[in-house]
Chain A
């Protein structure tokens, strides 16, 4: 049942620690509205229950880090490491995100309506990330699982040292990283991508995207290379 009331936390009056402490004690299903965030770091971090948290303004580093089950929406830009190590739930940034968005995240959905900068989805381990704009260099670096969808362009070295994360890009890719290759966009991928775009409330045409993945040349040891060690 949807919460009937929303608790307002004014960060011009209370600290990020006060906010997080209150959120950690909150009952599942409750709604929270955070005002005057002023780009403070570590907002709504370590949530474990199905809360709905709206941050009304810019957030600093590690916003919604380690999130489980909660829905966190930032009405502004987010700093480094938004939703880093997220396990489940949804994090949405209405503006743009700085470096390492969704780093090492295991699950859940991260949506960034604007751009994400360098290393978006670095070492992603199962999270789904949908970026409405562009991503910076070395995005999906060492991505192990999950899907990264880029509706704009990708910077240098996309998918460098990629394991099994899947990457979809609509725009231009400046360059591919080591062991990242373009792959055929089969019907199952179009369907998968359509689902991801829908979950991010986007209406982009899935057939306009290209798919990238690991050539799997790098992460299996090749005996021919043994003399290099």
Chain B
């Protein structure tokens, strides 16, 4: 099991409430994954000022946020949140910021990169982590949350979701890929490096490789359906896209709810119960191997 919750806000008046709404969803998802949890926040000005390039990493332990920012240099700033650090810059492009960070910290585990995107994850109970993230106060246009019950690899911060291995792209997974070792081997042969032994990371790396090959997200997810065996409900986001896909059997749960003001996806209906306007939302369970996308 794992729990998935995601919310894309369409009505700007709800943006200040993104974190509050997502906290309620994450709390409901805790039962499905008490091992570890993570969130991705698009446009949370507390962590990533608007338009700033941002790189998230697992906290190296012995360096403070200020020391990290100083070592990366230039106009970068950094903030420590729970077991993660978010480094951001108003001037450096995302790729340059990541390169500078890796230069200063060769052993850093980078967990996300993008424009005003913060990825926070760690080991622990989801409710405790949500408190440490200050999630309730988060704002923004889109957020996803994941609670993990580990099956394919160890309970580590690296193994927690979301997996964000390409600029602005985040992936969370409920299920288990049966052929992840084979696909990982193929991707490694193409020169792609991995941060964990987690099967879901292979899905994220595969999607990133398809995007790099010029496919759009919808096509990338169709190709994933063709290549991967096993069980999966996936929620994948970019800066403005929210996408859901399930395997051919669709055995892992997924519910989508949609109003004019927002679209949300969850493992169970109850995660939505507190969302404004849920009474009149369009609610459905995604069909197997059909890629659903919403553009903000």
Pair A98/B255 contact, Cβ less than 8 Å: yes
Contact status of A118 and B285, CB under 8 A, knowing A39-B28, A98-B253: yes
- A29 within 8 Å of B (CB atoms): no
Q: State which of B253, B269, B287 has its C-beta within 8 Å of the C-beta of A137.
A: B287
CB of B2, distance to nearest CB on chain A (Å) = 15
Task: Point out residues on B near A: beta carbons under 8 Å.
Answer: 28, 250, 253, 255, 268-270, 273, 283-285, 287-288
Provide a sorted-by-A list of 15 A–B residue pairs whose CB atoms are within 8 angstroms: A39-B28, A39-B273, A57-B273, A58-B273, A60-B268, A77-B283, A79-B270, A96-B283, A99-B253, A115-B284, A117-B285, A118-B250, A137-B250, A137-B288, A155-B287
Pair B250/A38 contact, Cβ less than 8 Å: no
- A80 within 8 Å of B (CB atoms): yes
CB of A59, distance to nearest CB on chain B (Å) = 9
Q: State which of B250, B268, B284, B287 has its C-beta within 8 Å of the C-beta of A39.
A: B268
Point out the residues of chain B lying under 8 angstroms from A61, CB to CB.
268
Q: State which of A57, A58, A136 has its C-beta within 8 Å of the C-beta of B285.
A: A136
Interface residues on A, range: 20 to 34
Q: Interface of chain A, helix or strand or loop or mixed?
A: loop
Pair A80/B270 contact, Cβ less than 8 Å: no
CB of B281, distance to nearest CB on chain A (Å) = 11
CB of A149, distance to nearest CB on chain B (Å) = 20
Q: State which of B255, B270, B284, B287 has its C-beta within 8 Å of the C-beta of A60.
A: B270
Point out the residues of chain B lying under 8 angstroms from A57, CB to CB.
273
CB of B250, distance to nearest CB on chain A (Å) = 6
Point out the residues of chain A lying under 8 angstroms from B253, CB to CB.
80, 98-99
Contact status of A58 and B287, CB under 8 A, knowing A118-B250, A137-B250: no
